[in-house]
Amino acid sequence: MSALVGAAYWAALAMALQVVTPTDGVDLRDTLTEAQREWWDLAPESRKKGLLCARRAGKSTLLARWLVAGAIDAGENEWSAYISLTRKSAREAMWPEIRKAAELAGVAHVVNEANLTVTFAGGGCVLLGGLETVRDVERYRGKKYRRAAFDECGAMRDSLLRRGYEQAVEPGTMDVDGEIAFGGTPGYVPEGLWYEISRDGAEESTGIPIRRWTALDNPHLPHAAAWLERIKAEKGWTDDTPTYVREYRPGRWVVDLGALVFPCVPGRNTIAALPTHNGQGLALVPQKWRRVIALDIGVRDPTAIVVLASHEDLAYRRFVLSAEKRSEWLTRELASRLRQLQAQYPDAPLIADTGGMGAYAAMELSRDHHLPIESADKAGRLASVFFTRDGLISGSLQLLPEAKELEDEWRKIRWSEKKPGEPAEGDDHCSDAARYGLRRLHHHVLDEHGPADPKTPAQLAAEEIERFKGQLEHEADERARKASRQLLRRVRRSVAADRKRRS
């Protein structure tokens, strides 16, 4: 490492790390409400417990202080982990609470903003992270857990929650007889590990006690009752409206398909095999099946592949044959998988999202692996969302068993609260690929001559590079503007101070 690089490294490290010296602290348990202390003291034989809470019930404060206390008491290389839906959501929801709890405790510690960790003098450490991909699961393997909390369980993919819990965190509690907590609101569909743990009467079979609180149980929100009545009136809700029950009442599971962007209902939207006859009982001609292989290429995110089909004699019906996704897929591995699918569906076009970094992957697939990648039609994103949603509601869009990855996503994707009418951010990689494929199938119906010739990956890459350069220039301009403003403020302060001295 050169001297210049070394200096830059240590400067960056100094910016990322913050040493907090000891102060007169408090017992974190004593700062909680009676109900929170009761949960804290639970000591079931299973060493696991849960919080099925409505919004603003005080769960985040409790979990933060419980995890920090565990890390303070922990030994060298022992961890308290907070695991949420994504790293971003963990930072936004829990990082301020963790830092506040650490300061309240008064114990010397080091804060690492880059890694979202707080390390205490005794060697214990609090870690924050997400559970969005299989790669995230691997991050939690091999650690010794004094305490660990899975939060927002109702929004997590069930397969990842199970894997993270059963294969990574639970084995990590063995060395120190650690504890595990589960938290969140009820999910949109009553199924999966979180439902199995938190449903009514589950404690008898699981040995995991669950506490159910609402904002009305939070003594720091004296106006909660009036606020809830006002929000019900504004939105036209009743006490039994599914969204209100799920978000604000004490831990009740209800089916709320209206809150899902893609309401996939078993039976209506699932099918064991492709049909062999049309509605009039006539046999379908195999040669009239059309198939599409659609990709959502990820660099840090998973890459998803979805195969869809339609038939000329099944008007407006669409079928999802399979869905799969994988993190850290090397281009040559992706190319090998696509060739396998091409051999299975020789006439199926390959459709890919070639925006962003996907342009470079598409160019490599096309140039080095000789795969005919077409650019996905991404115009009218919201229109394609509602086109897909309408197909599910009408029952004209159906999934085969091999498309379970997509079905799992659709059971989690909800409407955004910040952007009404748009899907919330989350695990939607198979969903995006499915939308690209459905639009391509739709072209078969609308245009006998097929879609227009797509731009080549090289053209798309060149356009993306130009857009990226423009973004860099814009960011540089903004940095220069801010620096100039700061300099002006300093000059004004200096001039004002000089005038004051002279007077």
Return the domain boundaries, the chain.
15-217, 286-454, 462-503
Q: What pLDDT is recorded for position 488?
A: 40
Query: Within 13 Å, how many C-alpha atoms sit on residue 263's CB side?
Result: 11
Residue 432 three-state SS: helix
Q: Residues 88, 94, 100, CA angle at the centre, nearest 5°?
A: 135
Q: What's residue 140's pLDDT?
A: 92
**Cα 89 from Cα 106, distance rounded (Å):** 26
Question: Which residues share a beta bridge with 319?
Answer: 309, 398
The DSSP symbol for 152 reads: -
Fold of 15-217: Rossmann fold (3.40.50)
In DSSP terms, 279 is beta-bridged to: none
Instruction: State how far the Cα of 46 lies from the Cα of 207, in Å rounded to an integer.
Output: 6
* One CATH from 3.30.420.280, 3.20.20.140, 1.20.1250.20, 3.90.550.10 for 286-454: 3.30.420.280
- pLDDT score of 477: 42
152 contacts 425 by C-beta, under 8 angstroms: no
Tell me how far apart the alpha carbons of residues 74 and 308 are, in angstroms, rounded to a whole number.
51
**434 with 308: CB under 8 angstroms?**
yes
- Closest listed residue to residue 493, CA positions, set 480, 485, 481: 485
pLDDT at 190: 81
The contacts of residue 325 (CB under 8 Å, 6+ apart) are 302, 303, 304, 305, 405, 429, 430
Asked whether the domain spanning 286-454 has the same topology as the one spanning 15-217, the reply is no
Give the β-pairing of 289-296 and 303-311. Answer: antiparallel
Supply 436's token pair.
């690209």
The predicted pLDDT at position 349 comes to 93
Burial class, 399, CB count within 10 angstroms (exposed 0-12 / middle 13-18 / buried 19+): buried
What backbone phi and psi angles, to 5 degrees, belong to 65? -75, -35
Q: Mean pLDDT for each 10-residue chunk of the chain (503 residues)?
A: 54 62 88 96 94 91 97 92 94 95 92 90 91 86 95 90 95 96 88 91 93 92 92 86 83 78 91 91 92 89 93 90 89 92 94 78 86 82 85 91 94 80 83 93 51 59 58 48 45 65 70
Task: Give me the DSSP letters along 250-293.
Answer: SS-----GGGBSS---TTTSB-SS--SB-TTSPBPPGGGEEEEE
Position 360 scores a pLDDT of 78
pLDDT for residue 311 = 93
